[in-house]
Amino acid sequence: MKLATLKDGSRDGQLAVVSRDLSTAHFATGIATRLQQVLDDWNFLSPQLEDLYTTLNVGKARHAFAFDARACMAPLPRAYQWADGSAYPSHVRRVLHARGAEVPAGLLEVPLMYQGGSDDFLGPCDDAVFADLGWGIDLESELAVITGDLAMGATPDAALESVRLLMLANDWSLRALVPAEVATGFGFLQSKPATTFAPVAVTPDEIGPAWRGGRVHLKVASFVNGQRLGEVEGGAGMHFHFGRLLAHLARTRNVRAGSIVGSGTVSHDDEAQGVSCLAERRALEMIHAGEATSGWLRFGDVVRIEALDPAGQSVFGAIEQRVRSTAASEAADAAVAAPGPAASGPAADPAPARAAKAA
């Protein structure tokens, strides 16, 4: 089953079921209006959504409409928890090597995980707005799960049973703000702005044998301005599977339905697969050429992230976002609010901004 949340002007949007091929959708009205409702009462509501999904896939749903990723919010536009692991050792090794920092001794024994902000997620095609290029703007392509309730002290196996939905994320990172926050020991806060999620969340059965061993064995493809950054195997390089990550989170507390847990940046030792963030690309440049020649993202850059099944089909739909400056974003908002001659004001690129707003 594939689920999306469509923009309707409200904070939580409208829940819709999306066809397997991402071509059509159908509002879940009559079953549930918000995804959190479904997660709160999964065993009762999800079979009803599955029925609608079956009907939609065979083309018999009465009020189906064309699915448009640009109309999507994050599947959970806001959540009660977002905790992000760092389950790919090749990512950690490369980034720490580039920073000149030592790889921690327990890297393969205890998952690294940070608690992220979850009050304001971005939709897959929303602009990512930042005030300052000096912050070192970077993408991080990640896989994630949404859980049901999980009791404190759960084992990794029990934890895996709580996985309800899989997602694809862009965990925006501000690299220049990381060192100071890491140095305090209090963890990432300003360096991890609003996270983005791909248009649809899918049940694990949806990817068949690609969901095995608590890992998502799909290729995660990342592009910047149409240039391939990587097409990285999501399962092979993941040391701690999602059950291990969830058990780590649940060690001292209950984890409640609707919690999102991320994999960390998808990575693999095989450099031919490329990378899923610019920090790793820069790290590899340093390792091989002695210096990083790639920069961070700039205003106007477009990031695209997709997870592909063996047939090359997009599973979650694509994240496709433009990096925008706060100033350009504010000018575009003003242009939308007061169209006409004044609309050509100080915005750096008002036309695409209006297009994005209208989507």
> Could you list the residues that contact a copy of itself (CB under 8 A)?
11, 40, 78-81, 83, 86, 104, 110, 112-120, 129-131, 135, 152-153, 174, 177, 180-191, 193-194, 248-249, 251-259, 326
Q: How near is the Cβ of 238 to a copy of itself at its closest, in Å?
A: 18
Q: How near is the Cβ of 58 to a copy of itself at its closest, in Å?
A: 35
Q: In this complex, which beta carbon is closest to a copy of itself, that of residue 104 or of residue 295? A: 104
Q: In this complex, which beta carbon is closest to a copy of itself, that of residue 118 or of residue 222? A: 118
Q: In this complex, which beta carbon is closest to a copy of itself, that of residue 79 or of residue 198? A: 79
Q: How near is the Cβ of 140 to a copy of itself at its closest, in Å?
A: 14
Q: How near is the Cβ of 177 to a copy of itself at its closest, in Å?
A: 7
Q: In this complex, which beta carbon is closest to a copy of itself, that of residue 177 or of residue 229? A: 177
Q: In this complex, which beta carbon is closest to a copy of itself, that of residue 215 or of residue 324? A: 324
Q: What is the 3-state secondary structure (H, E, C) of the chain?
A: CEEEEECCCCCCCEEEEECCCCCEEEECCCCCCCHHHHHHCHHHHHHHHHHHHHHHHCCCCCCCEECCHHHECCCCCCCCEEEEEECCHHHHHHHHHHHCCCCCCCCCCCCEEEEECCCCCECCCCCEEECCHHHCEECCEEEEEEECCECCCCCHHHHHHCEEEEEEEECCEEHHHHHHHHHHCCCCCCCCCCCEECCCEECHHHHHHHEECCEECCEEEEEECCEEEEEEECCCCCCCCHHHHHHHHCCCCCECCCEEEEEEECCCCCHHHECCCHHHHHHHHHHHHCCCCCCCCCCCCEEEEEEECCCCCECCCCEEEEEEEHHHHHHHHHHHHCCCHHHHCCCCCHHHHHHHHHC
Q: How near is the Cβ of 231 to a copy of itself at its closest, in Å?
A: 28
